[in-house]
Structure 1
Amino acid sequence: MTLVVIGPVTNDLVVIGEQEFQKVGGATYYQSFVFEKFYKDYLAIVNCSDSDLVNDFPNSDKVKVVLKDDTHYFVNRYPFEDNLDIREQSSNFADIPILRSDLENILPDEIDGFVLNPLNRYDFPAETIEFLKSFDVPIFLSIQGFLRLPGIQINENYTIKLDNFGELSGILSGVTAIFLDEAEANIIDGCFDVDEMVITNGSHGSRIVSEGEIKIEAVKCENVVDTTGCGDTYMAAYISKRLTDISIEKSGRFASKIASEKLKNHGHY
């Protein structure tokens, strides 16, 4: 049985104060490092135009590339070195959807679950998600991409603004768990047919809404180096424990610990 993690790999520029560095990114990229350690039976499927980007993954043998005619590009700018909770983002908003036909011949025969990581509204058409629901396995979905819209154009990129998505209710119906941050939680309207809603809030911790609400304290990190990918790391750590029948609270506490470890490093966990 295999956990299938799907979403774009990105070419990113991270700017922290006066420092800047280019790196590989994307939720699926960050999560692969966590699954490589805590849930080894996984397969990452990424969409991009540059297959060399997978060389930065922890195990390129566990990555399959859906070649497209573009690659997601993000600028993650942290203007205040002493407060890395504040981030300014821009993106090229690549239109490179993952289609059912892209997946049909590369999915494994036996699947534990799906982890879906859209970075904008183009990545996962509703038809693709309905196809994945037909496997009748747990689906864990980060909703951030569905809320992103292009804002002001800056050179070849656009600032990112967040807004509700009318099709979101249908997309999320029947999904096992959704992952979002507090800003995104303030935008979505109403309750969804999901078992768990995991809401992160940077250094203020997280909360998990299921039958009730469980608050998870952030694990303190004395030397925060880079917060990019921290939420993706949390998501993967949480899923790795929930799939092994660990409780919601214990999974959240474990995820908080692993996310704190990621904060100490440039790049991945």
Structure 2
Amino acid sequence: MTLVIIGPVTQDIIRIGGDESYKVGGATYYQSFVFEEFYGDYLAIVNCGDESLLNDFPDLSKVRPILKDNTHFFINSYPYPDNLNIRHQSSNFADIPVLKSDLEEILPDEIDGFVLNPLNRHDFPPETVEYLKSFNVPVFMSLQGFLRTEGNQVNDNYEIELCKFDELSTILNGVDVIFLDEAEKNFIGSNVDVDEMVITDGSNGSRIVGDGEIKVDAVKCENVVDTTGCGDTYMAAYISQKLLMKSSRTAGNFASRIASEKINNYGPYNFNK
């Protein structure tokens, strides 16, 4: 059986202090490196307009593109090089939805679960989410994309702001686990009807809210190199252990360690180091 991870690949611009670099990004991209190591039977389905971005994935045989007329662009600015927990983002807010018709011919016959990684609310229309729920397998979802809306325009991009989404409760109904950070949790409040919430808070650790609450300490990292994609790495590591029937506490501790290992190196999680 196969774990299906779905979401856009991005072209990212990283600005740290006065330095600027370019790289491939997106939650599905970062997660694929973790699943490659810890849950090998996966399929990454990515929506984008630039197929060359797929070349950076760890195993192209496990990638299926949904080609659109645009690609997500993100500018990640870290104004304080000595504190990479502070990040300002802007995006072009590409409108390139994953449609039911896009998925019908490329989904595998047997599926372990779905991981949904929207980067803005265009990526997964409600009807697409309902279609994926109909498979009656675990659904794991990153919440952040559904809360993002266009803020002030900066050249060709827009600052990212959080905004209430009228259809959010319908989308979340039937989702097994959602992933979000503390700012997003404070924004949506406590009226969330899911089995489990995994809430991350950078170097302050994370907490897992289900029947009760589990606090997970961050694994200390002596050499912070690159925090971009850290939350996505945590999410994939957590899911890999939950699908192997590990407890939430065990999965959280494992995810914290893998996220710490990731930020020791530039780029996605490197299982060869």
Q: TM-score range by the shorter chain?
A: over 0.9
Q: How does 1:1-269 map to 2 (within 5 A)?
A: 1-269=1-269
- Note the aligned Cα RMSD (angstroms): 0.6
1-side partners of 2:176 and 2:220: how far apart?
29
Q: Secondary structure at the match of 2:187?
A: coil
TM (normalized to structure 2)?
0.98
Larger CA deviation: 124-133 vs 186-195: 186-195
2-side partners of 1:146 and 1:187: how far apart?
12
Q: Secondary structure at the match of 1:128?
A: helix
Q: Deviations over 1:106-130 (max 9, x none)?
A: 0000000000000001000000000
Amino acid at match of 1:257: R
Shift of 1:34: 0.0
- How many residues end up aligned between the 2 structures? 269
**Structure 1 residue ranges without an equivalent (≥5):** none
Shift of 1:190: 3.3
Q: Secondary structure at the match of 2:4?
A: strand
Kept in 2: contact 1:7–1:117 (CA 8 A): yes
Larger CA deviation: 247-256 vs 158-167: 158-167
Shift of 1:163: 1.7
Q: Secondary structure at the match of 1:187?
A: helix
Shift of 1:209: 0.1
Q: Secondary structure at the match of 2:131?
A: helix
Kept in 2: contact 1:164–1:189 (CA 8 A): no
2-side partners of 1:8 and 1:102: how far apart?
13
Shift of 1:20: 1.4
2-side partners of 1:243 and 1:15: how far apart?
36
TM (normalized to structure 1)?
0.99
Amino acid at match of 1:197: M
Amino acid at match of 2:92: N
Kept in 2: contact 1:5–1:43 (CA 8 A): yes
Shift of 1:204: 0.3
Shift of 1:226: 0.9
Kept in 2: contact 1:152–1:159 (CA 8 A): yes
Kept in 2: contact 1:151–1:158 (CA 8 A): yes
After superposing on structure 2, the runs of 4+ consecutive aligned residues of structure 1 that deviate more than 2 Å are: 189-193
**Structure 2 residue ranges without an equivalent (≥5):** none
Kept in 2: contact 1:16–1:80 (CA 8 A): yes
Amino acid at match of 1:231: G
Q: Secondary structure at the match of 2:66?
A: strand
